[in-house]
Structure 1
């Protein structure tokens, strides 16, 4: 059990670091569109599957709808973040529950 918990904590820490990196970058460069998307889903209020799915969906929407607003470094960090969020969903014990629960 503690191994699963530590893996989940590690994934959540990677998600947090990536979000902080993007936040700092987009604040410094005044990239309003990406920053708005990020702030729509971060910081996570909790580690629930619903919050994590919301983050994944929001970040994918940013990636697909506004690729021109991302420089190469931010696009790579965003892609990595989306993979981490997907991992967090797989690791979440709530992953199988519907978003409304």
Structure 2
């Protein structure tokens, strides 16, 4: 294995540990909405950037649209997941910026859709789903 992948692999393991903690916490407390966001993109199937980006986007959406459903402890865990995921995919958050940035996430999804050749339907769905 190349040394390049070792830090990424450890970061993915840390993300997975945090997701397990959140999964157990949300199952115990029966918080269905945050659990649905998590189960939409977890468990991770590898350490490629598309899978990790999907998790970061889902957790960012959770922070943005369902912030009232999260305790301070849960918010900290979610922000740590987002930070670790952004480190892997090479996106950095501006200093002092909130973790959930809906417009930035939307445009990142559109860029990924362009690469996959799915621009019209994917972009239209994103524009209709959330606020700008």
Q: TM-score, normalised by structure 2?
A: 0.66
The reply on whether 1:25 has 2:25 as its aligned counterpart is: yes
- Decide which of 116, 121, 124 is 1:100's aligned counterpart: 116
2:9–2:47 CA contact under 8 A, matched in 1: no
Cα distance in structure 1, aligned partners of 2:12 and 2:47:
8
1:50–1:100 CA contact under 8 A, matched in 2: no
Aligned to 1:71: 71
The reply on whether 1:44 has 2:44 as its aligned counterpart is: yes
Please provide the CA RMSD for this pair.
2.1
- Higher radius of gyration, 1 or 2: 2
Length, aligned pairs only: 96
2:11–2:88 CA contact under 8 A, matched in 1: yes
Q: Which sections of structure 2, spanning at least 5 residues, go unmatched?
A: 91-110, 118-132
1:34–1:62 CA contact under 8 A, matched in 2: yes
Q: TM-score, normalised by structure 1?
A: 0.85
For residue 3 of structure 1, give the secondary structure of its aligned residue in structure 2: coil
Structure 1's consecutive aligned runs of 4 or more residues displaced over 4 angstroms after TM superposition are none
Displacement of 1:49: 1.7
Q: Which sections of structure 1, spanning at least 5 residues, go unmatched?
A: 91-96
